[in-house]
Amino acid sequence: MLIRQAMFTSVLIANRGEIACRIARSAARLGMRTIAVYSQADAGALHVRRCDEAHPIGPAPATESYLVIDRLIEVARKSGAQCIHPGYGFLSENAEFAEACAAAGIVFVGPPPSAIRAMGLKDRAKALMEKAGVPVVPGYHGERQEPAFLKQKAYEIGYPVLIKAVAGGGGKGMRRVDKHAEFEAALDGAQREAKSSFGDARVLIEKYVSVPRHIELQIFADAHGNAIHLNERDCSLQRRHQKVIEEAPAPGMSAELRAAMGEAAVKAALAVGYAGAGTVEFIADGSNGLRADGYWFMEMNTRLQVEHPVTEAITGLDLVEWQFRIAAGEKLPLSQDCVPLQGHAVEARIYAEDPARGFLPSTGTLIALQFPGGVRVDTGVEQDSAITPYYDPMIAKMIAHAPTRAEALDKLAAALGHTIAAGPHTNLALLAALCRAGEFHAEQFDTGFIERNIAVLGGGGADLAAVAFGAAELLAREADRIGRSLDRAPDAPASPWDTADGFQLSGPRALALPILADGEPLEARVSYGAAGPAVAVDGVTAALDATAIPAADAIYVLRRGRQTVVRRADLGAGDLDHAGGDGQIKAPMHGKVLALLVCDGEQVIKGQRLAIIEAMKMEHALTAPRDGRVAGIAVAVGSQVAEGVKLMTIDSTDQ
């Protein structure tokens, strides 16, 4: 039991979304007045209403609001905040922000600026760890950044290699390179993304481990020279170098190896005079199981992690409360030998993204959002909230805790299957499939597992049974609307002319219903019999296990965690423009045009990169669908574009 000493009476939470709500929950339990900040895009956000008071800090882009240090300090002063909790992301690992807090007489709930600087840059952190005797991944961590020099270093290290932003995190500014000829393009993309996300374009090069397991140790240190670890987490299930499912403890971890890795993590923290919560991340070679000579230091995150709830589940501790108490000057409440480890916990990150289209982020209003009971859900949104292109596309984190790993995975899979989320596309189906995957259950996985198995995990083609179900719902809604509009006396005899379906004078009644399923043109066949209409698409009949969420102009069909949006096709409005292979290059999501890589009239080949769009802090390259000539570039670098907007056309060379 923690003994309460002098505690803060107020906290400004310099963040948004689910982590802001999470911090507010612990702060309120400790009796603090909670102070939120919000951008123009977040004026109606959940975290604003969950706090005792809230203050505007600027326009939607984070660079004009959540990343403006002076503005945050000004709000903290005016509101009388005793401390500032940065959450994760944004300014959580910014030494200048920590210094600005101190200069204003406000406690920064995090490590000292010196520790942030020491561990915040991956190249310096690796050099420091080598000096401290912690094993480090082979690579180049020096100061030189000339492209030709870095390419030569990559060749010397041996492909495949990873290019990583020295100030990075969350997979941003990271590229895997398998061939020497691909290095320049990968370096250019990594540096540009790093500059955009962290304000620092510098990178390092390290050897790519062939069967990598991502294992991290949660550490805590106080200002009195004490440091411990709170066991490990396995974060190996990733897409685009970003974590998707995390669990604790790590499968295959022995008590002896946990102690060795924990000792290395604590050594890393003590080497920089750390205080507060941190995570020491290791890459392990999983080819022959976890072993003492097969792990290397990767980086240290000087903040709380997104996946901290799984550690809370197996230890029964509130890590945010620990952060507050250590920032208030208290000593660590536990010694290393008293840290609990109870059962197994698994966390799934529910994202607004489309796994079937390369995990492109998806924006829009959540027209339906419901979570089941029996699991922990951390979220910063609710029904009718908007997922915007300005911030990370996470909808929620769902955490299951059970006595065994198998039970925790089954519990999480069931909860994901009973979650309703409609509007933007989500990765719910993928997450449930991962939890049920035989190899994952058998502990046979690494960081490339999702990429290798995406076709069977949920990245396939259209769910025709769901499409047929949506078409049937559209038909029923239209029939109901037409029926209600008929001006006929209640006791008048029925007339075939009142029928709102495929009435005809002879033969079986049937009709063809042109529809759009997720924007793709299809045709539903509707036949009428004694039991009513039957709908099929390409011979596949309507699903019986789907849920319909009606919207003004569409039916959102949810089936097995996957969403399909079905609309009537308006042939006169040009719904089928893209069906004939017209070469139009359209924005796959809302975002900002970072680069145009071709010019009007330029000859291109299939697969050539045409433009780069940034959305939700990630870059997405658009490529030519065929050989041809560029025509009609309709956007400029720096333009904000909406999903579906035409960017350019590739005219076929044989026209």
* Residues in CB range of 485: below 8 A, 6 or more apart: none
DSSP strand pairing (242-248 vs 646-652):
unpaired
Give 577 or 510, the one with higher predicted confidence: 510
Rounded-to-integer distance, Cα 612 and Cα 187, Å: 14
The DSSP element (H or E) to which 631 belongs, if any, is strand 628-631
Encoded tokens for 73: 């300090």
CA 571 to chain centroid: 36
Query: 């106080």: which residue's tokens?
Result: 222
Mean pLDDT value of segment 525-549: 91
Find, among 243, 248, 359, the residue nearest to 301 by Cα: 243
pLDDT, tens digit, 9 for 90 and up, residues 229-251: 999 999 999 988 889 999 999 99
Residue with tokens 């400004």: 12
Tens digits of per-residue pLDDT, 320-377?
A: 999 999 999 999 999 999 999 999 999 999 999 989 888 888 999 999 999 999 999 9
Active site residue 303: yes
Cα gap 322→219, rounded to integer Å: 11
CA pseudo-torsion sign 115, 119, 124, 129: positive
Distance CA(612)–CA(424), nearest Å, equals 22
Q: Which residue has better confidence, 102 or 607? A: 102
pLDDT at 507: 52
- Residue 398 reports pLDDT greater than 90: yes
Query: What average pLDDT score do residues 49-67 get?
Result: 96
Sequence-distant (6+) residues with CB within 8 A of 459 are 355, 356, 430
Mean pLDDT, the chain, whole residue set: 89
Q: What is the pLDDT of residue 509?
A: 67
The pLDDT of residue 655 is above 70:
no
* 501 has pLDDT over 80: no
- For residue 520, give Cα distances in angstroms to 268, 416, 556: 53, 27, 15
Mean pLDDT of 372-399: 96
Output the pLDDT for position 4.
47
Q: Which amino acid is at 611?
A: A
Under the banding of pLDDT at 50, 70 and 90, the label for residue 141 is: confident
Tokens matching residue 48: 């604003």
Place of tokens 């520790």: 115
The reported pLDDT for the residue numbered 479 is: 76
Residue type, 23: I
Alpha helices in 104-212 (DSSP H): 113-120, 122-132, 147-157, 183-198
Task: Read off the tokens for 205.
Answer: 């090069």
Q: Which residue has the tokens 């709930």?
A: 109
**Of the listed 303, 325, 562, 568, which one is catalytic?**
303
Considering only CA atoms, which of 461, 169, 431 is closest in space to residue 298?
169
Extract the tokens encoding 222.
Answer: 């106080």
Of 197 and 16, the one with more pLDDT: 16
In which band, very low, low, confident or very high, does the pLDDT at 654 lie, cut at 50, 70 and 90?
low
What separation in angstroms does the CA of 29 have from each of 25, 287, 324, 465? 6, 45, 12, 48
Cβ–Cβ under 8 Å, residues 372 and 350: no
Q: Which of 380, 232, 253, 372 is nearest to 311 (CA)?
A: 232
Q: Which residue has the tokens 């393009």?
A: 185
Tokens of 238: 């990733």
Percent of the chain with pLDDT over 90: 66
Nearest to 194 by CA among 531, 614, 506, 628: 614
More confident residue, 541 or 130: 541
Return d(Cα 576, Cα 624) in angstroms, integer. Answer: 20
Q: Is the CB of residue 367 less than 8 Å from the CB of residue 300?
A: no
Helix (H, G, I), strand (E, B) or coil at 398: strand
Residue of 561 and 30 predicted with greater confidence: 30
Show the tokens assigned to 450.
């999702």
Residue-level pLDDT at 315: 98
Residues 6+ apart with CB under 8 A from 188: none
| Res. 573: pLDDT tops 50 | no
Task: Over range 6-28, report the average pLDDT.
Answer: 96
CB neighbour list of residue 604: distance below 8 Å, 6 or more residues apart:
598, 610, 624, 627, 628, 629, 630, 650
Rounded (5°) CA angle 354-356-361: 20
pLDDT band at 259 (very low <50, low <70, confident <90, very high): very high
Q: How confident is the model at residue 588, as a pLDDT?
A: 81
Q: Which helix (H) or strand (E) holds 516?
A: strand 510-517
In one letter, which amino acid is 322? W
Residues 206 and 137: beta-carbon distance below 8 Å:
yes
In angstroms, the CA 9 to CA 27 distance is 9
